[in-house]
Amino acid sequence: MRRCSGRRYWSQPDRAFTLALLILTIFGLLMVFSASMYTSSVRSKTGSGYTQFIKQAVYVVLGLGTLWLSSRFDYRKFDNVRVAKYAIIVTALLLGLVLVVGSEVNGAKRWLAIGPLTFQPSELAKLTGIIYASSIVSQKKEVYTSFWKFTGYCILPMVALCGLAAVEPSLSAAMAIGFGMLCVYFFSGIKFRYFVPYILLIIAAVGLALILQPFRLDRIRVFMGKGGADYQIRQSILAIGSGGIFGRGLGNGKQKMLFLPELQNDFIFANIGEECGLVGCVLLLILYGFIIYRGIKIAKHAKTKFGYVYGCSVMALLGFQVIVNVAVATNIMPVTGMALPFISAGGTSMIILFFMMSLIVNMSRKPGRKVNPPKRIQHQKTEGKKA
C-alpha cells in the first residue's frame, strides 16, 4: 500500500497472477458445489445440498484472508535457518502425533481433530519442507561442496517428513513433500551426483511400500488392466467421456448421484470433464499453466536466492499436483489420492496453498523508495512557515 508520509511503500502485487488465482478459486468453489450438492442433500440431516459448499466457502474466505494478510509481510523474513528448523521439528511432531491420536478414515490416519475441525499435518509439511530447504540452500554454502553436509542438512529432514507421511499411509503426500524439497535442491544448483543415491533409495522405498501394502499392488494391476477393483476409474472415464466437447452443463452431471464416491475430492476433474467438457478441461489447464508461468517469472525477478528457489519450487509442486490428479482421473497413472489445487474440497489444503502463494505475491510487491508528501501538503507547510 502506498504511503505519502516519507516512509517506504510496497507497490501493488502482480495483478495478472492474483486475478488468475481468484478466477481459479471461484471456479473451484462452483465445481465443489456442483459435485457435492446431491451427496450433501442425501447425507445431511436437514436435507440441505449446501453443506459441503458452505464449508468450502468458509475455507476459501479464510484462504483469501491468509493471502491478503501474509502478502504484506516481507517474504525475506522467512529466510531464517533457525526458525525453519523449529518449523520442521514441529511439523514432524505433528505428523508423529497423527499416528497416535489421529482420526482414522478409510484405514488411514491423516487428520488431527480439533473440536469440530480437522487439520492435516501432511499439507503443512509441503510448506515447511520447501521453506526449510530454501533457507538451507540460501545460507548454508557447505551443502554445495560436501556430500555429507548435503545429506545431514537437506536429505535427512526430507526423509523424516516423507517417511512419517508414508506411514499414515499417504504415499501421495510423501511424494509431494519429497518432490517439493528436491525441486529446491535442483533449482539451487546442487550437484546432481549428490542426488543419485537418494533417487535409488526412493525407488527402493516405493517398492517396499508396494510389498508391505498389497492394496497398492491392486491399483497397479487395475492400471494395467488386470484387476477387477477398477470401479472408480471406470466411472471417472465414463464421466469425462460423456461430457463430450462442451459438457452437459454446470450441475447436470450424473456421476455425482453416488456413482463416483467423493467426487468433490480426488476425482473432481471427472466432474469438470462431464459438466464442462473438453473445452472446460483445456481452459482449466491453460489457467494453471498461466499461473505457473507467471509465478516462475516473479520468482526469477526475486532479489534473493531464497525467493528464487522457493517460488520456482512452489510452482513446480503446483504443476506436479495438477499433473498427478489429471493423470489419475484419466487413467494415465495408477490411482493415488492427490487433490486438484484450489479446486478439490479441503480446508487445510486450501489455506496452505494460499499461504504458499502469498509469499510469491509479496515477491511481486516491490518495495519503493521514500516519497515526498503531496504538493498540497507541501504548500500548507510552506504557508505555515511564512505565517
pLDDT in tens, 123-154: 999 999 999 999 999 999 999 999 999 999 99
pLDDT exceeds 90 at position 99 = no
The number of CA neighbours under 13 Å toward the Cβ of 138 is 24
**Average pLDDT of the segment spanning 343-355:** 92
Least confident span in 53-67, 142-156, 324-338, 369-383: 369-383
Per-residue pLDDT tens digits for 27-60: 999 999 999 888 878 776 666 778 888 999 999 9
pLDDT exceeds 50 at position 3 = no
- How many whole angstroms separate alpha carbon 128 and alpha carbon 178? 12
What the block records as the C-alpha cell of 271 is 466432474
Percent share of the chain, pLDDT over 90: 53
Identity at 208, one-letter amino acid code: L
pLDDT exceeds 80 at position 319 = yes
pLDDT at 225: 59
Higher pLDDT, 347 or 379: 347
Torsion angles phi and psi, residue 127, rounded to 5 = -70, -55
pLDDT at 230: 72
The pLDDT confidence band at residue 19, using thresholds 50, 70 and 90, is very high
The pLDDT confidence band at residue 213, using thresholds 50, 70 and 90, is low
- How many whole angstroms separate alpha carbon 95 and alpha carbon 159? 13
Contacts of 242 (CB under 8 A, 6+ apart): 248, 254, 274
Q: Contact at 8 Å (CB) between 243 and 274?
A: yes
Torsion angles phi and psi, residue 367, rounded to 5 = -70, 140
Mean of the per-residue pLDDT values for the chain?
84
